[in-house]
């Protein structure tokens, strides 16, 4: 009896039916432009601005060095995410579901749960920053109502699924791109802004901290890039998925974060407020665009949260996933994330920086294992049917090699970690330059490849 999962052969243009199932070739409506538009528009939001403002506002770097650190971090981090994205057209399944091949049917659900928490965190964070954008223009507006309203918009988009999300992102990438471009040009013409950090001194600690933030910003996309590249026709190939993702992510991130650097220099306490303070009515319009676009963009974050929630449910509770399951999961997840945003409106910047730092340490080992397995060990050859088999098929329920490698990778980062609650013993000798991500990636990939080859050698001996 075949383990191949059932597929829906009818094409649905408006309401998504496939959820976590492989996308049939006749339903792959994605294009290079629609893919790039998703990643461009995803970064065109106030949360990206706030992240860029950390460089000049929190770390006190000069404007020039802030932009260099942002550029370097995004260029490095996006390379990993784009490699993950190249898997989508070939396999046709969500990114974290594919982790069943490296960690087992049940083992992968641990990482789907981690990714689920991450996306829920981003959904809540975007709601808070969207609310701040709106209140910067209309200070009397009820913040609770704003968050609930923006959350509802994201839920509605997510309920309809990929088709509506893709078309929305394509239009948004144009509208918000123009708004950000106008803001950038106007700010660069204001010497009272560009001279704000003229006396600031370069610091290795600040530079590498911002470099790490740029890397984790991009790697945060890794757990869901294939959620969208799986809609590209298989004939499009991995190169189109790679470059569409890479250029879209890097170009938009650096562009918007650079605006954040200027805003952070102008107003370190409230970077978004600097738009209205320095650009007047134009700045107010940009803030409104940011607020509305964030609500729309958030549908993408919720969509991937739901994909991971469904993966966990199918793996652990033998739930039969239907379109109805996806819709109700979307509503529940959206409501929970909105409640988190309502409760987390206080010291947002401190919480968000800590959130980004922890994400980096958790995602790095998973990314190293996934890329090593896909490109070196299996060279893209996976049994899709076995990935959906309740007993794990050829991949099993728990993969000790993958799980052990991940554990080693996490431990390897500990001596180098720099977080608000813990700093590793080797951080001070390295002048608090965060290299934990680099150590974690290299160690994890090396351990995984060694253990895979060792296991293969033992099997050969037993069979011989």
d(CA 84, CA 95): 8
The structure's pTM equals 0.83
Tokens 């329920």, located at residue? 397
CA distances from 184 to 179, 213, 360, 375 (A): 9, 22, 29, 39
Sites in the chain below the pLDDT cut of 50: 1-13
Q: Is residue 289 part of a domain?
A: yes
Q: Is residue 353 in some structural domain?
A: no
**Angle 72-361-359 (CA atoms, 0-180°, nearest 5)?**
80
* Rounded Cα distance, 369 and 403, in Å: 10
pLDDT, residue 348, reads: 59
CA 17, 21, 25, 29 torsion: positive or negative? positive
What is the rounded distance in angstroms from the CA atom of residue 115 to the CA atom of residue 136? 31
Domain membership of residue 62 (yes or no) is yes
Rounded CA gap, 308 and 290, in Å?
A: 27
Nearest one of 97, 134, 136, 77 to 19, comparing CA atoms = 97
Are 91 and 226 within 8 A, CB to CB? yes
pLDDT at 350: 59
Q: What tokens appear for 4 in the block?
A: 């191949």
- What would the two tokens of residue 160 be? 């309809």
For the chain, how many structural domains are there in total? Answer: 1
Intra-chain end-to-end CA distance of the chain, in Å:
29
Q: Establish if 428 belongs to a structural domain.
A: no
Please indicate, yes or no, if residue 377 is contained in any of the structural domains.
no
Q: What per-residue confidence (pLDDT) applies to 338?
A: 93
Phi (first) and psi of residue 423, to 5 degrees: -125, 125
CATH code of the domain covering residue 32: 1.10.4160.10
Host domain of residue 34:
25-347
Q: What is the pLDDT of residue 3?
A: 47
DSSP three-state, residue 140: coil
Please indicate, yes or no, if residue 112 is contained in any of the structural domains: yes
Task: Give the residue from 277, 279, 325, 309 showing the smallest Cα distance to 123.
Answer: 309
Closest CA relative to residue 58, chosen from 451, 352, 397? 352
Q: Which long-range contacts (CB under 8 A, 24 or more apart) does 371-375 make?
A: 371/80, 371/83, 371/84, 371/445, 372/445, 372/448, 372/449, 373/101, 373/102, 373/402, 373/448, 373/452, 374/87, 375/83
Kindly state the tokens that stand for 256: 């918007």
CB 13 within 8 A of CB 260: no
Q: Of 382, 403, 399, whose CA–CA distance to 447 is shortest?
A: 403
Q: Is residue 257 part of a domain?
A: yes
Structure tokens at 385: 């049917």
Residue 165 inside a domain? The answer is yes
DSSP one-letter string for 324-362: HHHHHHHHHHHHHHHHHHHHT-SSHHHHHHHHHHHHHHH
Q: Report the distance separating Cα 98 and Cα 22, nearest Å.
A: 11
Tell me, what's the pLDDT at 351? 66
If one counts every other C-beta atom within 10 angstroms of the C-beta of residue 362, the result is: 19
């Amino acid at each position: 009896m075949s383990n191949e999962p059932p597929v829906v052969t009818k094409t649905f243009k408006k309401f998504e039916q496939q959820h976590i199932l492989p996308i049939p070739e006749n339903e792959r409506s994605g294009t290079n432009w629609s893919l790039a538009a998703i990643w461009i528009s995803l970064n065109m939001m106030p949360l990206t601005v706030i992240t860029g403002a950390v460089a000049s506002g929190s770390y006190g770097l000069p404007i020039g060095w802030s932009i260099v650190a942002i550029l370097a971090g995004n260029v490095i981090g996006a390379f990993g995410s784009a490699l993950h994205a190249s898997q989508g057209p070939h396999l046709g399944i969500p990114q974290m579901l594919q982790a069943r091949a490296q960690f087992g049917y049940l083992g992968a659900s641990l990482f789907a749960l981690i990714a689920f928490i991450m996306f829920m965190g981003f959904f809540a964070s975007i709601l808070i920053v969207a609310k701040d954008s709106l209140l910067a223009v209309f200070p009397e507006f009820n913040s609770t109502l704003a968050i609930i309203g923006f959350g509802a918009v994201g839920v509605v988009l997510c309920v309809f699924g990929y088709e509506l999300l893709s078309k929305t992102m394509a239009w948004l990438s144009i509208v918000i791109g123009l708004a950000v471009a106008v803001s950038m040009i106007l700010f660069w013409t204001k010497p009272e802004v560009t001279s704000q950090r003229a006396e600031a001194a370069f610091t290795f600690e600040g530079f590498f901290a911002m470099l790490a933030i740029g890397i984790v910003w991009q790697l945060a996309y890794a757990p869901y890039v294939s959620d969208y590249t799986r809609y590209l026709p298989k004939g499009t190939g991995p190169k189109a998925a790679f470059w569409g993702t890479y250029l879209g992510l890097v170009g938009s991130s650096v562009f918007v974060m650079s605006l954040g650097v200027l805003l952070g220099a102008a107003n370190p306490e409230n970077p978004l407020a600097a738009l209205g303070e320095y650009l007047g009515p134009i700045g107010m319009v940009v803030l409104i665009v940011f607020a509305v676009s964030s609500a729309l963009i958030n549908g993408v974050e919720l969509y991937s949260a739901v994909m991971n929630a469904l993966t966990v449910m199918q793996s652990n509770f033998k739930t039969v996933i239907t379109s109805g399951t996806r819709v109700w999961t979307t509503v529940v997840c959206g409501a929970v994330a909105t409640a988190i945003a309502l409760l987390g409106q206080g010291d947002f910047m401190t919480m968000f920086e800590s959130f980004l730092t922890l994400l980096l340490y958790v995602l790095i080992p998973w990314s190293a294992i996934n890329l090593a397995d896909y490109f070196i060990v299996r060279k893209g050859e996976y049994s899709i049917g076995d990935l959906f088999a309740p007993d794990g098929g050829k991949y099993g329920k728990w993969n000790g090699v993958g799980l052990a490698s991940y554990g080693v990778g996490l431990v390897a980062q500990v001596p180098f970690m720099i977080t608000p609650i813990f700093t590793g013993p080797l951080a001070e000798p390295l002048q608090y330059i965060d290299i934990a991500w680099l150590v974690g990636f290299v160690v994890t990939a090396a351990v995984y490849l060694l253990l895979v080859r060792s296991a293969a050698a033992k099997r050969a001996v037993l069979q011989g």
